[in-house]
A and B are shown apart, each in its own frame.
Chain A
Amino acid sequence: MSEKQLSTDEAEVYDRQIRLWGIEAQEKLRAANVLLIGVRSLGSEIAKNILLSGINSLTILDDGVVSQDDVTRNFLLHEKVALGSKIAEQVLPRAQALNPLVKIVVDTGSVAAKSGDYFKEFTIVVATKLKFELILKIDGFCREHNVKFIYGEVAGFFGYSVSDFQDHEYFEDRIQLATGAKRGHEGDKKTKRIKGKLTYPPLNKVLVLPNTKQDIGSIKKMSRPNKLFVCMLMLLEFRKRFERDPDLENKSDEIEELRDIATEIIKLYQFTKVNVDNLLDLVFGEVSPVCAILGGIMSQEVIKAASHKEVTINNIFLFDPVTYSGKELTVGA
């Protein structure tokens, strides 16, 4: 769909957000085609938020099947969904009901089997729970075709996202007081459009793990070592090594594995005074309200990237599982 005028229906449904980001951003949004890879707890949160925002199309790519865990935790499913059926197909009815104005395409194929061309029709790709190699591979495909990419996940109470929006141009409408005007006089306010540009490094320069022959130069210069950053890499390395996530049933052994991996990463980066011990207990399972938080952050980044309105996170977001604060960290630039 092109960026033509919004219909009356659309204007009514999207009224409250158009009042926030403006009609121009909404028109860009409704031209956006989004690929969502993975529709589990976090993926469903993202699907909900971006469907509600009024994009043109959402493609849901997930070759997985429904588990008991999904049925109790994924609000796009319900109790009568057959265990073992394709999850991407099962979420469709509820996903579509969230917003009948958006085209939804379901793809139960394997993400690993997709060629580079698959990605080029999208405005932005958003992915969760991928193997490390696949994250870098998809980022490479996206770069080839100027498609924006954001990846994120939730582990226990911890969550993070990392973006590669390449050369991203954005605009902001800042309200300014006309010269000589007194504060608080509505009539004298002017909106000034400010344009900006952010340049994102490719993810193979941002997510650098041990024994990968990746270039670590840009990251070693990190001024302040960040333990949540280490925690993120630790979890990526864990999945890379064991092809699964840390197992709640076997917590104490898993914590030792995690600790060893963290030590290795800290050594690779030559960080000093970084200790992730108090985090290790908090990265098991997937806490639903944290999925809601990460899903909110990542969806807002998708909306900002697709509409070019407002400053995006450059390039990592880290949610603290202890304090529940959330900050941007810029890495690899």
Chain B
Amino acid sequence: MSTQSANPREPTSHVNSISKSKILVVGAGGIGCEILKNLCVSGFQDIEVIDLDTIDVSNLNRQFLFRKEHVGKSKAVVARESIISFNSNVNIKAYHDSIFNQEYGVNFFKRFDLVLNALDNRAARNHVNRMCLAADIPLIESGTAGYSGQVELIKKGMTQCYECQPKPQQKSYPGCTIRNTPSEPVHCIVWAKHLFNQLFGEEDPDQDVSPDTEDPEVKKDGAFSVTESGDVKRKSTRQWAQEVDYNPEQLFNKFFKDDINYLLSMENLWKTRKPPVPISWEKALTCESRISNDEESSKSLDMQVLSISKYTQIFASTVNILKKELAGKKFLMWDKDDTPAMDFVTACANIRAFIFSISQKSKFEIKSIAGNIIPAIATANALIAGAAVLYALRVLQNDYEKCPTIYLRQKSIYSKVLLATDKSLQKPNPNCYVCSAKPVVNVFVNVNKMLVKEFETEVLKNTLNMVAPDAILDGKGVVVISSEEGETEINNKKTLCEVGIVDGSILKVDDFLQNYELIINVNQYEAKEKDDPPFKFIANPAELKAKQIDGVKNGVTAAKNDLPNQEMHTDNDDVVICTTDNDDFGASSSKKRKLNPVEDDDDDLIILDEQLE
């Protein structure tokens, strides 16, 4: 019955295009499960689905193709099995893999009539966007965040691509705020995550947790003279922790007593602020205080703010557990769903908050912030996936003009519109550095300081979203960065200037996998203010002129932070939706330096995932 499976009650004009179409669904999370179900009951018979992720308990409230016994298994594989148990005539192929892998090149994408994105992170969305542009296959991009969501068609030459408009930047916090003068709970949470990485994670010099003597405020009037810390090269926190064998009492006294005393010695900082109050291990163990306005009695433990003595005990016990976990490994990865790691961050953030008289938060709340969790619900995912498949039907009929972006909004007393649509397709941005005919971008970077390797990782990969770039210095024809292993290794530790990249240089960069060529105009730039980013880029020439006038400030700055900055994703369900679950999809190219490996939203937001839903 396979050839006649099109349903009698489905609109028949589509039958042919439905049953013969080959569809790729990227992501099998919240939106992905719903899309697969809709495709299947609408009569689609040739579907492929790819997802790197495995099933977590917290997925079960919406990713309805999965059940408790599936926890830990591949989303793509289980989703396929569930669909087939409903209708064995559907030909569905599952890949438990990252869409960034080289096997999924342009030729892979060209096999499909249509690609549906159900992702939860921006990096993967950017990548699929480029692959679909390169293969000239229509892409339906979708995402939800809480009650909101969005479905948009991306069709080369007809619509905006996913990267035509700059997306909102992740929120960042100056390093000195995190290290010296926290004033909000989030500052303490960022600090606690950095402390985790300093002690157990991959070391990152940008995540220093000790007092920052370079803080411009400190030096004002010269009241504070840098002695021990600043200029003297100290041993790393990790090295010191190992020497004391992760003794919880010694660690505690350093981070919550000695370092705080040191901060107090920077008197300038406390002229207009309430000074922190250091707390020793002994005092902490008997301290029953907490800073919270909430009624606690009826709540579960995770919802409560506990006493300092309790957090001190948690600190000690999690340090011991994490120390054991670390044994034999290079480092641990922080994960919000790993109980000791989450408990450690909760305890440290709350002890630090207490010291700085900042309101403390429950583990439940800290998990949201530290784990960058975007709430996700079944109903919004179902609605968005329904709209995505309605658009799929139109796209397969070549009715592109009838697919302007659809927005799902929360009902409010001010608005009667729950599903809104744009009036027409959004036209491509002629200056887009991805989809325009000859993509060009201006990069502002300190050619005397930035290393070639740093340029490759931070600028080309993490900011410009390339996967395997080759860069040729125009005019000279010299390959400065190669995707072939070993070919340009010799350049890695040289500065840009040393390999001939200077102000005014033109780089031709080619990403073979993405079939993407970009011209980069290199401009010399030096960060002046402490919080200036280490590099920036501007795609629009008009914008470039304006920026040059104001000294290249506030341009489309690089998403990557500047060293002392910590970045966090902020939830924003307006325009750009982001990912759904914040469970990251695929090879997130994000850097650990960020508080969260990038994301936007999953199934669940950074303009649209559902998590990789």
Residues in A whose Cβ lies below 8 Å from that of B74: none
**Cα–Cα, bound, A317→B386 (Å):** 16
**Cα–Cα, bound, A319→B302 (Å):** 41
Residues in B whose Cβ lies below 8 Å from that of A15: 57-58, 61
In residues 171-192 of chain A, which contact B (Cβ within 8 Å)?
184-188
CB closest residue in chain A, given B418: A326
Give chain A nearest CB distance to B59 CB in angstroms.
8
Report whether A13 and B57 are in contact in the complex, using a CB–CB cutoff of 8 Å.
yes
Instruction: Tell yes or no: A285 within 8 A of B by CB.
Output: yes
Of listed B38, B376, B420, residue having the most chain A CB within 10 A: B38
Partner of B390, one of A8, A77, A324: A324
In residues 282-333 of chain A, which contact B (Cβ within 8 Å)?
284-293, 295-297, 299-300, 303, 310-313, 317, 319, 323-329
Residues in A whose Cβ lies below 8 Å from that of B380: 296, 300
Report whether B58 and A52 are in contact in the complex, using a CB–CB cutoff of 8 Å.
no
Instruction: Tell yes or no: A117 within 8 A of B by CB.
Output: no
Report whether A288 and B42 are in contact in the complex, using a CB–CB cutoff of 8 Å.
yes
Binds B, one of A58-66, A68-76, A253-261: A68-76
Residues in A whose Cβ lies below 8 Å from that of B146: 20
Report whether B382 and A16 are in contact in the complex, using a CB–CB cutoff of 8 Å.
no
Identify 20 residue pairs between A and B in the complex whose beta-carbon atoms are under 8 Å apart, listed by A's number. A16-B377, A17-B61, A20-B375, A23-B303, A49-B379, A53-B379, A69-B8, A69-B9, A73-B41, A78-B85, A285-B9, A287-B42, A289-B387, A293-B419, A295-B386, A313-B411, A325-B406, A325-B421, A326-B419, A327-B419
In residues 2-16 of chain A, which contact B (Cβ within 8 Å)?
5-6, 8, 11-16
1/0 per residue, CB under 8 A from A, across B387-401: the answer is: 111100100000000
- With A79-B88, A288-B38 known as contacts, the answer to whether A16 contacts B581 (CB < 8 A) is yes
**Cα–Cα, bound, A217→B37 (Å):** 44
Report whether B40 and A187 are in contact in the complex, using a CB–CB cutoff of 8 Å.
no
Report whether A292 and B7 are in contact in the complex, using a CB–CB cutoff of 8 Å.
no
**Cα–Cα, bound, A297→B88 (Å):** 30
Report whether A285 and B387 are in contact in the complex, using a CB–CB cutoff of 8 Å.
no
Report whether A292 and B386 are in contact in the complex, using a CB–CB cutoff of 8 Å.
yes
Give chain B nearest CB distance to A186 CB in angstroms.
5
- With A293-B387, A311-B411 known as contacts, the answer to whether A327 contacts B418 (CB < 8 A) is yes
Instruction: Tell yes or no: A193 within 8 A of B by CB.
Output: no
- With A16-B61, A187-B185 known as contacts, the answer to whether A289 contacts B390 (CB < 8 A) is yes
**Cα–Cα, bound, A326→B147 (Å):** 15
- With A16-B58, A73-B41 known as contacts, the answer to whether A293 contacts B383 (CB < 8 A) is yes
**Cα–Cα, bound, A296→B377 (Å):** 10
**Cα–Cα, bound, A60→B177 (Å):** 56
Residues in B whose Cβ lies below 8 Å from that of A53: 61, 377-379
Report whether B11 and A157 are in contact in the complex, using a CB–CB cutoff of 8 Å.
yes
CB closest residue in chain A, given B59: A16
Residues in B whose Cβ lies below 8 Å from that of A72: 5, 7, 41, 87
Instruction: Tell yes or no: A156 within 8 A of B by CB.
Output: yes
Partner of B34, one of A69, A187, A292: A292
Report whether A187 and B421 are in contact in the complex, using a CB–CB cutoff of 8 Å.
no
Report whether A248 and B383 are in contact in the complex, using a CB–CB cutoff of 8 Å.
no
Report whether B41 and A75 are in contact in the complex, using a CB–CB cutoff of 8 Å.
yes
Report whether A16 and B411 are in contact in the complex, using a CB–CB cutoff of 8 Å.
no
Give chain A nearest CB distance to B1 CB in angstroms.
9
Give chain B nearest CB distance to A201 CB in angstroms.
17
Residues in A whose Cβ lies below 8 Å from that of B419: 293, 319, 324-327
CB closest residue in chain A, given B62: A52
CB closest residue in chain A, given B183: A187
**Cα–Cα, bound, A55→B429 (Å):** 47
CB closest residue in chain B, given A326: B419
In this complex, how many residues of chain B approach chain A with their Cβ under 8 Å: the count is 71
Residues in A whose Cβ lies below 8 Å from that of B7: 69, 72-73, 288
Instruction: Tell yes or no: B412 within 8 A of A by CB.
Output: yes
Report whether B61 and A14 are in contact in the complex, using a CB–CB cutoff of 8 Å.
yes
**Cα–Cα, bound, A323→B68 (Å):** 39
Residues in A whose Cβ lies below 8 Å from that of B34: 292
Of listed B382, B389, B406, B416, residue having the most chain A CB within 10 A: B382
1/0 per residue, CB under 8 A from A, across B405-435: the answer is: 0100011110011111100000000000000
- With A285-B10, A292-B38 known as contacts, the answer to whether A13 contacts B61 (CB < 8 A) is yes
Instruction: Tell yes or no: B540 within 8 A of A by CB.
Output: no
Instruction: Tell yes or no: A279 within 8 A of B by CB.
Output: no
**Cα–Cα, bound, A288→B44 (Å):** 12
Report whether B382 and A292 are in contact in the complex, using a CB–CB cutoff of 8 Å.
yes
1/0 per residue, CB under 8 A from B, across A251-284: the answer is: 0000000000000000000000000000000001
Instruction: Tell yes or no: A213 within 8 A of B by CB.
Output: no
**Cα–Cα, bound, A79→B87 (Å):** 6
Instruction: Tell yes or no: B262 within 8 A of A by CB.
Output: no
Instruction: Tell yes or no: A112 within 8 A of B by CB.
Output: no
Residues in B whose Cβ lies below 8 Å from that of A310: 147, 410-411
Of listed A77, A99, A324, residue having the most chain B CB within 10 A: A324
Size category, A interface: 35 or more
Instruction: Tell yes or no: B604 within 8 A of A by CB.
Output: yes
Of listed B378, B379, B413, residue having the most chain A CB within 10 A: B379
Residues in A whose Cβ lies below 8 Å from that of B42: 287-289
**Cα–Cα, bound, A73→B243 (Å):** 65
Residues in B whose Cβ lies below 8 Å from that of A12: 57-58
Instruction: Tell yes or no: A100 within 8 A of B by CB.
Output: yes
**Cα–Cα, bound, A325→B421 (Å):** 6
Instruction: Tell yes or no: A129 within 8 A of B by CB.
Output: no
Instruction: Tell yes or no: B115 within 8 A of A by CB.
Output: no
Give chain A nearest CB distance to B3 CB in angstroms.
13
Residues in B whose Cβ lies below 8 Å from that of A297: 379, 383, 418
Residues in B whose Cβ lies below 8 Å from that of A325: 406, 417, 419-421
- With A20-B377, A75-B40 known as contacts, the answer to whether A52 contacts B386 (CB < 8 A) is no
- With A69-B9, A317-B418 known as contacts, the answer to whether A16 contacts B376 (CB < 8 A) is yes
Residues in A whose Cβ lies below 8 Å from that of B185: 186-187
Instruction: Tell yes or no: B86 within 8 A of A by CB.
Output: yes
Partner of B376, one of A5, A17, A326: A17
Q: Can you name 17 extra interface pairs (CB under 8 A) apart from A15-B61, A75-B37, A311-B413? A: A6-B300, A15-B57, A16-B58, A49-B379, A72-B7, A77-B86, A98-B64, A248-B8, A285-B9, A289-B386, A289-B393, A296-B382, A299-B378, A324-B390, A324-B419, A325-B420, A327-B417
Residues in A whose Cβ lies below 8 Å from that of B68: 100
Residues in B whose Cβ lies below 8 Å from that of A100: 68
CB closest residue in chain A, given B58: A15
Instruction: Tell yes or no: B186 within 8 A of A by CB.
Output: yes
**Cα–Cα, bound, A310→B413 (Å):** 10
Residues in A whose Cβ lies below 8 Å from that of B381: 296
Residues in A whose Cβ lies below 8 Å from that of B581: 16
Of listed B42, B359, B368, B369, residue having the most chain A CB within 10 A: B42
Instruction: Tell yes or no: B509 within 8 A of A by CB.
Output: no
Report whether A54 and B61 are in contact in the complex, using a CB–CB cutoff of 8 Å.
yes
